Structures are given as C-alpha cells and as structure tokens.
Amino acid sequence: MFRALMIAGLALFLPGACALGYSVFQGPSSWMTDAHTFWGTPISLFVFWIGLAHAGTLLSAVFLALDIRLDRRTALIAELSTLVSLAIAAVFPLMHLGVIENFYMVAPLLDARGNIANVRSPLVWDFCCIAVYAVLSLLFFATHLKARSYPALDMFRKPMAWLLFPLVLWVHTVVSLDFAATFVPEWRGAFFPVYFIAGAIFSGLALVNLLLCTEGYRVRLLERLQLICSWILCAIWIWDYMLKGSFCTSAFVFAGVLPQFRMVSAIRENKWGRVAISLSILLGLFLERQFLVSPEFGSPASSSLGWVDWGLLAFSAGAFVLLFWGIQYSLKRFMEVDGSYFGEVDGSDMAEVEEAELRDSPVVYGVEKSKKGFYVHPWSSEEYYVLRLPLLVGFAVTIAFMFWAIERLPFENVEFSLAHVVPLLYPLIALVAVIVLYARAYFVQKVFALHRLEKIVAAALLVLAGACAGTFYAGGSSEGSADARKSASEFGDLDLVGAAWNARCATCHGTDGKFNEKFVREFYPVPQKLDLQRVDSLGVDSLVNVVLNGRGNMNPYAGRLTYDEARALVNYMRSLAVRDSAVAASAAGKQEVANDSTP
Amino acid sequence: MTPLLNAFACLLALGCALFLWREKSSPYRNGALLAGFLLLFGVFTYFGAADSLVTDPSLEHYPFRMLALCLCFSTTSLPLYRRRYLVLAQVLWLWIELFGGIALYYRGFDVAWTRIAAIAGLALGSTFLSRISREMEFCLMVLWLAVWVFF
C-alpha cells in the first residue's frame, strides 16, 4: 500500500512540479486569473488547503476538549494532515505574490522594508494567525507523540486542546476576512466566517475519512458528521444565492448532492464507495473555492482552467501524498498503538473489544462521565488549573503589546481602532500561554526531557522567534539605497523625482498615478481616484501633510522623506494627473468630432 | 427589518429551539434540523427584509445570528453538560456578531459594540453558574431576548 501511494504521489507530483516551475517562471499570466478580482488559482488552492489544515487539529482538539473519545491513531492522522496541509498551503501565497524572494514583505515587520506593514489589513492578521496556528499545531502533535514515552505529558493535551479550539476557528475566520473586508460585490458577506468554518470542517472531515480508508478502517462518527456538514453547507449556499444570486452548480453537485449517496448502504459499506464520496467532496470544495476566489469562474466570459491550473492542483495533491505518508512512515513506531480503534472497524470484532475496554477502563468519557455522577464546579476543572497562570501571562503580554504598539510612530498618526486590532489578540494570547505552559513543564515541573535533536530544533525555533521579535521591535532599516538617497538629494530633477515615485509610491499609486488596483484592492478598500480636480481641490500643502503624517489608508513617511522631497513627490503626482487629464480631454474631443461627423 | 419582525425572529428562534436535542434523538435528526432551521431563517430574512436585503448589509448574517440564538435557547434544555454548552453557544453568537461586525466595519458600518459587550458579559457570567435552576434558565432566556431586541 505504501509503495502504491508513493508511486501515485510521484505521478501527481512530478508533472505538477513542472507546472509549478513554469508558472513561477511565467508569472500570473500562466494561470487562470479572474479579470475582476485579480485573484486566481494559487489563492483558491491556498484557501482550499488552509481549510483542510484547520480541520485536522480542530477535530482532534474539539473532540478531546469536549470529552468525545477519538482513538489515538485517528487523532494523530488528523493532526498530521493539518501540518502537511499547512506546509502545502504556504506555497501558494508565495506564487500569488509573484516576487517570491520578497515573501517577507507579508510579515508585519514594521518598517523593515521601508514600507510600514498595514496592521489594519486582514492579510497581515492572516500571516500572524496562521504562523501561530502552525507552531501550536506542531506542538500539539509533538506532545501527542511524546506522551507515549512521557505519559505525564498527556495532562497538557487537554489544556492545549482548549487553547487550540478557539484558535483554529479564529484563524479560519481571519482567512475569511481577506474576502469579507473588501469591496468586491461577490465577497460581501458578514456571514463569511461561519461559511468558511463550515467549509473547512466539511473538507477536513472528507480528507480524514479518506485517509482512514487508506489505513483500512473507518470511524462512523466522522462519516456521520461529514453527511450532516453537507446539509449545513447546502443551506449556506442557498442563503448565498438568495443574497447575491451567485451559485456554483458544480460544487453543489459534487459536495452537496453526491455525498447523499452515503445513505445508500451498499455504497456506505463499500470502501471504494466511501473513497469516492470523500474525493467527490474534496473536488466539489476545490471548485467552490475556485468559484469564490474568481467569481467569473464558469461563466462564458471567463477563461477556463488550463493545464497549469490542473498542474498546480496535481502538485499540491502529490506533495500531500508524498509528505503525509513519508512522515507517517518515518514516525510509524510512535504512531502505532496496541489498543482498539474508536468506532466500528471494518470486518472485525474490534467493536466488542472496544466495548470491553471501555467497561474496564478507569477513564470515563463524555456522557458516561456525567452518568457516573461526575460534576465539575465552576472554574475548578483540571484544565483551568493548568491554564490559569499561562493564560494570565498571555493576557498581560498582549495588553502590554497593545500599549507599546499604539505608542509606536507607525501607528500614532494612523486611524487605529479596536476593530483593527481585535483579530490579532487571541493568537498572541494563545502563543504566550503555550510558551509559558511548556517552559513550566520542562524547567519547573520537569515532566519531560528532550533528546539532542529535539533540543537543537527547539533552540533553532527559539532563535528564529527571537530574530522575528527583534526585527519587529527594531523595525529594520528605513535607509533607502544609495541610488534612492542620491535621487532624494537631487530632487530638482523631474526624472529623479519620478524614480523616487516609482520606488516609494508606485506600489499603491501606480507608475501612472492611477492606482495599482491589484495591490490596493488586496490591502484596502479602493480609495477615491486622485484626478486633477481632486488633487487641486485638496491642495499641495494638504497633500504634503498627508504624505508626511499619513491619513486613512496612507502610511506616514515623516522621517524617511524631507518636507521638500514630499512636496516634490506631490508635484510629480499632480503632473501625472495633468497628463491624464489632457489625454482624457483629447479622447473626449476625438469622440465629439466622430459623433459630429456621423450622419 | 422592522422592529416587529425582529422581535418575531426572536420568537421563531425560540420556537425552533424546542425541537433540538430531544432525548434519544439521533445526530442525523439534530443535524437535519439545524440545516433546516438555517434554511428557514434564511427564507424568513429574505422575505422579511424585502428590498432592504440589498441596501442593509447588516442582514447578511442575520440568519446565522438567529441560529446562534436558537442554539442558546436550546442549551437550556440539555440534560448534561449544560453550563459548558450554554457558554459555547453564547460564544458562537459572540463570534458571529464580532467578526460579522468587523467585516461590515470595513465597509463603513459601525460595529455593534454594545451588543457584543452584552453577549460577552452574559457568556462570562454564565461560566460562574453552578447547577442551573428553572428560574435561572428563564432569567437567561429573558436576557438573551433583551439583547436581541434592544441592542
């Protein structure tokens, strides 16, 4: 089985890697891009894989937190699928950026790139939240594996699950805000957070059920949940249709209609039937994400998926197969268990074994716990005692961070409200709480020991985190390149001002002064055009003030531009507006002449 | 949405809550009911809002808010783990309100901080509840109704 999977993985991965290489070389023109939103296949794949990445840990953590029994092997498979999906999801935003070597620009490193990170952008929240989620999921998985050698570590899994439960919902909600906080009509949806979570859980359940099929057993509870999720998602799609009139028929068929065949016992009881249903759901949800990201997808006006798009999909699927089973194979001895699996196992009497185990086990789960008179007084559960101090430290650090951040120069001149910063709060609290939790377990309680390799990995992670924190704190260098400084000192020359414009302003405003809409749309609601009439109505002095001190979506550049330089840039912007106005007037004149000459 | 229909939405959620989590009911029944209620709330919002569905973006997540309220009501009749699920249902409501509000904030609408603070306060307060009496159940339901109607 392992060999067959590896061959299948390679068969998908190798042609997919060629498509990936070609698309990196060729850029966004090689894949399907929506003419309206400027987003395309890489973002669809990112959202698809990040959805899958959220479901594995979510299932494992939620079940653990809510006392629903899930056997160790199934939980480990779900958790590993999360980590592998996260690694694959990380590839696609890099491709979408187009300039892969500048990937760090997505990170909120304050002024490190001479262009202050927009803390009000969902993309920046996204980066922070997913990074925290990845670290915590890795720790959750590692704790689960290591608990076999150090059983005392098991007491940290449930508190971790309670931290991960909201985090995973939070993170996928923030992913949904990438869409919901924009002005694209098809993405208007204050219900997107729920919609995205429902889609993620549904796709994650399909993936976990598919993986369990390859392992040779099934968990009926997860299959039932999968069917229930399909009903709820169909209801959400119908609401979306009522609201906006948009509907993705292919997603509805693959992920809404076909999964209902699970009600047919002949299909449900057949392994290949279950595989087909899971694959159908995954395909349907990929098509749905494609439709969401590119609202014109499927319409006659839109381009269809080309070989590069299918190649990218094959690359991601192949990479998942290779990575997942590769890692699982190397961790085999840690993942295998002697105990029974939860939920009737195919063709064996394991269910009876499980019942006997449950009867004799001193540990009670869920409803059984309450039946035995189990009652926890408010604020007195074991998890609460374990998490009390770490959470307190997490809250304290987050509050201190907030005060520090608001005092920082980049923020003090920018309109900055609670709504802009709320999405970052919980991930920060969770990260600090987990660091404190594990530091206490290792140094104070001495619950576990680390092997040499683990120590090296932990030290490397800490150094990396320290470097990120240091860069964040120091803010990097605002000094421009030698050429930029030269151009700044010789601002009388219009060409040099133009070069400075292209270096400093064109990212958002465009080289022609008419906005780089693709970029601006991704980060902000698109502001008003700065045409000649508007520039003149605002006045040069006022605009110089905006350049230096910032306003609305414009970041402040005081300290990096002198007053004269800012003034020269405003004059340059006005010259672009004059040129644009002249072109528009000329075009209007020609149109008038043409109309007059028409009989 | 008129205040009268808004109040009726609340009653509708309360009525639907009666059917959830009945003793010995299967997950399929509860799942189908949840999906059906969401559909019902969607249809209610669609016809109740009429033309304002396009002009009033705060209605975009109205059916989901109704569903969250319905879940809150339904948790009062749970036989086991009542406090836990009562808090979780309120947190779900809080989450829908908060992130729905943030999404709308970017389109120029104010976040309903009063409503969010009220739900957060109720959720936090509920964590202190010990064994929940019938009087306390009634009290909670009245508070949720008040938050829905007045905030």
Residue A194 C-alpha, separation from nearest chain B C-alpha, in angstroms: 7
pLDDT at A119: 61
pLDDT at A34: 75
- Phi, psi dihedral angles at A71 (to 5 degrees): -70, 160
pTM (predicted TM-score): 0.80
Strand partners, A33: A40
Decide: A334 and A148 in contact? Cβ < 8 Å: yes
Residue B45 C-alpha, separation from nearest chain A C-alpha, in angstroms: 10
Among partner residues B60, B96, B130, which is closest to A378 by beta-carbon distance? B130
How far apart are alpha carbons B63 and B66 in whole angstroms? Answer: 5
Residue B130 C-alpha, separation from nearest chain A C-alpha, in angstroms: 6
Q: Does B132 touch chain A (CB under 8 A)?
A: no
Decide: A50 and A88 in contact? Cβ < 8 Å: no
Kindly state the greatest CA–CA separation across chain B. 47
pLDDT at A368: 56
Residue A149 C-alpha, separation from nearest chain B C-alpha, in angstroms: 32
Query: Can you give the three-state secondary structure of chain B, one letter per residue?
Result: CCHHHHHHHHHHHHHHHCCCCCCCCCHHHHHHHHHHHHHHHHHHHHHHHCCHHHHCHHHCCHHHHHHHHHHHHHHCCCCCCHHHHHHHHHHHHHHHHHHHHHHHHCCCCCCCHHHHHHHHHHHHHHCCCCCCCHHHHHHHHHHHHHHHHHC
Q: At what angle do helices A72-89 and A192-215 cross, to 10 degrees?
A: 120
CB–CB of A180 and B106 under 8 A? yes
pLDDT at A115: 45
Q: Which 8-state DSSP code applies to residue A362?
A: S
Query: Residue B15 above 90 pLDDT?
Result: yes
Taking CA A463 as the corner, what is the angle to CA A458 and CA A467, rounded to the nearest 5 degrees?
150
Q: Does B47 touch chain A (CB under 8 A)?
A: no
Q: Which 8-state DSSP code applies to residue A269?
A: T
Residue B150 C-alpha, separation from nearest chain A C-alpha, in angstroms: 21
Minimum CA–CA partner of B93 in chain A: A194
Among partner residues B43, B53, B103, which is closest to A177 by beta-carbon distance? B103
The token pair that represents B6 in the structure block: 């808004």
Q: Would the ipTM clear 0.85, i.e. be above it? A: yes
The total number of structural domains in chain B stands at 1
pLDDT one digit per residue (tens) for chain A, 599 residues: 778 889 999 999 999 999 999 888 877 778 887 766 667 888 899 999 999 988 788 888 888 888 887 778 888 899 999 999 999 998 888 887 766 766 666 665 554 444 445 566 677 778 888 888 999 999 999 998 888 888 888 889 899 999 999 998 888 898 888 888 776 777 877 899 899 999 999 999 999 999 988 888 888 888 999 999 999 999 999 999 998 888 889 999 999 999 999 999 899 888 899 999 999 999 999 999 988 888 877 666 666 788 899 999 999 999 999 999 999 888 877 776 554 444 444 444 444 555 555 566 555 555 555 555 566 777 888 888 999 999 999 999 998 887 777 666 555 545 566 777 788 889 999 999 999 999 999 999 888 888 888 889 888 888 887 877 776 665 544 444 444 444 444 455 666 777 778 777 776 777 777 776 656 655 555 566 777 777 777 777 778 888 887 766 677 777 778 888 888 888 888 888 888 877 777 776 776 666 666 55
Query: CB neighbours of A221 closer than 8 A, spacing ≥ 6?
Result: A68, A342, A343
Please list the alpha-helical segments (H only) found in A380-515. 382-407, 409-412, 418-439, 452-474, 482-489, 494-504, 506-509
How many contacts does A have with B, using Cβ atoms within 8 A?
A: 110
Minimum CA–CA partner of B83 in chain A: A378
pLDDT at A221: 85
**Domains in chain A, start-ordered, CATH in brackets?**
482-597 (1.10.760.10)
CB–CB of A227 and B28 under 8 A? yes
How far apart are alpha carbons A170 and A299 in whole angstroms? Answer: 33
Q: Does B55 touch chain A (CB under 8 A)?
A: no
CB–CB of A367 and B27 under 8 A? no
CB–CB of A370 and B80 under 8 A? yes
pLDDT at A554: 74
Domain that holds residue B12: 3-150
- Phi, psi dihedral angles at B71 (to 5 degrees): -65, -40
Helix (H, G, I), strand (E, B) or coil at A561: strand
Q: Does B39 touch chain A (CB under 8 A)?
A: yes
CB–CB of B103 and A227 under 8 A? no
How far apart are alpha carbons B139 and B150 in whole angstroms? Answer: 16
The token pair that represents A143 in the structure block: 């704790």
pLDDT at A180: 81
Q: Which 8-state DSSP code applies to residue A451?
A: -
CB–CB of B99 and A177 under 8 A? yes
Residues 53-72 of A with CB under 8 A from B: 66
